Structures are given as structure tokens and as C-alpha cells.
Amino acid sequence: MSAHTHTEGQLPHEPEKATLEGRNKVLGFWLFLGGETVLFGTLFAAFLALRDSVMDGPTPDHLFDLGLVAIATAILLTSSLTSVFAIQAMHRHETKALINWLIITVLLGLGFLGLEIYEFYHYVLEGHGFTTSAFSSSFYTLVGFHGAHVLFGILWITLLIIQLKRKGLTVVTAPKVYVAGMYWHFIDVVWVFIFTVVYLMGKVV
Amino acid sequence: MAANGSSPEQSGRRHKVEGPKKHIVAFVFSILLTFIAFATVIGGEINKDFIYIILLGTAVLQVFVQMAFWMHMKDRGHRFAIIGILSGVFIVFTCVIMAEYWVWW
């Protein structure tokens, strides 16, 4: 892809695209994200269809605390920014800065997950269990699936940090980091729709 | 994919590393959009449909910022990426419209 000149033995400018394998990984990951879009789309569709079916359970307007959601959103947006900084550090070949930014991203992800667990725990105490109503089932499925993706991302990036520490930044490890960064942004994109469709629209009575 | 943004005379030189400024601007922009969305709902004495339009508008704009700048979609060589995601989005719209307008008829 890049016709630039490179010094022998030196890591290329964009190491994630330096090999055919790396470029194929990025392309394949985009197609995977297309599939993920469909997965979340169906969950969103189910939620939209069922969100007014609350039966005897609490209504969304009653349940949601926008303050908590705002904090969670801020955390996740910031983690998206820190993962961009990680990729930029990678392009500058600064492995140490790259690892540090990834660690910050993971910590922010953990903070988000902690808030979500607290939120779910709180809802269950208020009588909003998984089987309470069609609204609660679709809510937990949609938001829980997103939370599971965050958890998976945290584990994934943690493993990448360990690998980076052991093997350093090479044309093999670079595509992995790049693809993990894309995954993290995608999670953020899904959250944008969750806070809009689930929380904010739930508050509009 | 020979046209890769840098002019021929630049290609021999060291690569220009892009700074964080663009991304900080994108970050501030997405925080601002989030704030508008939350404020519309909390301030909410306005028409319900109008709130929905604002919410969806800010969400779509924000996704655009994320994908273009942070997922590098605006960069060269992302045609297949755009096709992949767009085909996903097409199915999503079908699902959502089906669920919203047909299920309860």
C-alpha cells in the first residue's frame, strides 16, 4: 500500500499495514464489524419493539438515572480518545507510550464496567429483573451484550499489553493493536446509540 | 492505491507523524454532542418528536465523527471497510423499521 522508502531493519511508518497479513486482518475486521453492526441492530430492533411493554415492572422513565449514564458515557468517550493516542504512539514507534495509553484505556473500560454492574445491581433491587417484563428482558439483553463486549475488549487489550511487553512492537503485533483499537471505537459507537435510544429516549415521556 | 495523500517529492523524506490536535478536536466535538443530547432531554419542555429528531441527529453526527476520524474511515484505502459497515447498517435499518412499524400492526 505504501510506496515509501524504508531503511533496512527499521519498523515502517504504519507497521499495521506493512504486511499483506496485516492488511488482510484490517479488512477482515471491517467485515466482522459489519456483522457486529447487524447483531446489535437486531438487539436494538427488539428493544424498540418491546420497550413500552413494561407490565407491572418499573417504566424506563422511572428507572434510569441520567447522571450515572452521563458519567459512563464520559468515561467511554475518553477511553476512545486514549486508544487513539495509543495508535498514534504506535505510529511514532514509542512502544512504552503505546503500552501506557493501552493501560489507561483498559482502566477506563474497567471503570465503565464497574458502573454498569452497579447500575444493574441497583435495578434488580428496584424490582427490575431479567424476567420482569419484555422491556426488562430486551433492555438487559441489549445493554448486557454491550457490557460483554466491553469485558471482552478489556481482556483482549490486556493480553495485547502482555504480548507487547514480551515481543515488542513488530509487524506481527502492530496489526493486532490496530484492530483492537478499531474494536474499542466500535464499542463506543454502539454505546452512543444505547445512551441515545435506551436512556435518553426512555426519559422522554 | 498509489494516490496516498503525500506528494511525490515528500515520499523520500521522513513520514510526517500526525499530531493529537485533530483527535482532541474530535473528542471535544463528541463531548459537545453528548452534552446537547443530555441537555435536550433534561431541559425537556419541548415537543417529543422534536426531541427525538435532535437525539437521533446528535447520535448520527457523533458516529460520523468516530468513524471518520477515530476509525480512520476518511483515510485512503477504506472502500471495503465502508462497504462492509454500510451493508451492516442497511440490514440494521430494515430490522429497526420492521420492529418499530410492523410488529404491532
Q: Which residue has the higher pLDDT, B103 or A191?
A: A191
CB contact under 8 A, B38 and A201: no
In a domain? residue A178: yes
* Structural domain boundaries in chain B: 19-74, 76-105
* Cell output for A188: 463506543
Residue identified by cell 443530555 is B38
ipTM score: 0.73
For residue B18, the model assigns a pLDDT of 66
Q: Tell me which H or E stretch contains A172.
A: none
In total, how many domains does chain A have?
1
Q: Give the domain range for residue A173.
A: 16-25+65-203
Q: Find chain B residues with C-beta within 8 A of A200's C-beta.
A: 37-38, 40-41, 55
Calculate ∠ Cα A145-A147-A151, nearest 5°.
Answer: 115
- Asked if A181 and A83 touch (Cβ cutoff 8 Å), the reply is yes
| CATH number of residue A91's parent domain | 1.20.120.80
In a domain? residue A34: no
In whole angstroms, what is the distance from residue B32 CA to residue B53 CA? 17
User: Lowest-confidence range among A63-77, A145-159, B67-81?
Assistant: B67-81
* Residue pLDDT tens, chain B, 105 long: 344 444 444 444 455 566 778 888 888 888 888 888 888 888 767 777 888 888 888 888 888 888 777 777 767 777 777 888 888 888 888 888 888 777 766
Minimal CA separation from A166 to chain B, in Å: 26
User: What are the φ/ψ torsions at residue A14 (nearest 5 degrees)?
Assistant: -110, 85
For residue B81, the model assigns a pLDDT of 79
Question: Which residue of chain B is at minimal alpha-carbon distance from A27?
Answer: B81
Question: Which residue of chain B is at minimal alpha-carbon distance from A204?
Answer: B41
Inter-chain contacts counted by CB atoms under 8 A, chains A and B:
142
In whole angstroms, what is the distance from residue B90 CA to residue B97 CA? 11
Axis crossing angle, helix A20-50 with helix A173-193, rounded to the nearest 10: 20
Minimal CA separation from B1 to chain A, in Å: 7
In a domain? residue A41: no
Q: Does A200 touch chain B (CB under 8 A)?
A: yes
In a domain? residue A54: no
Minimal CA separation from A7 to chain B, in Å: 10
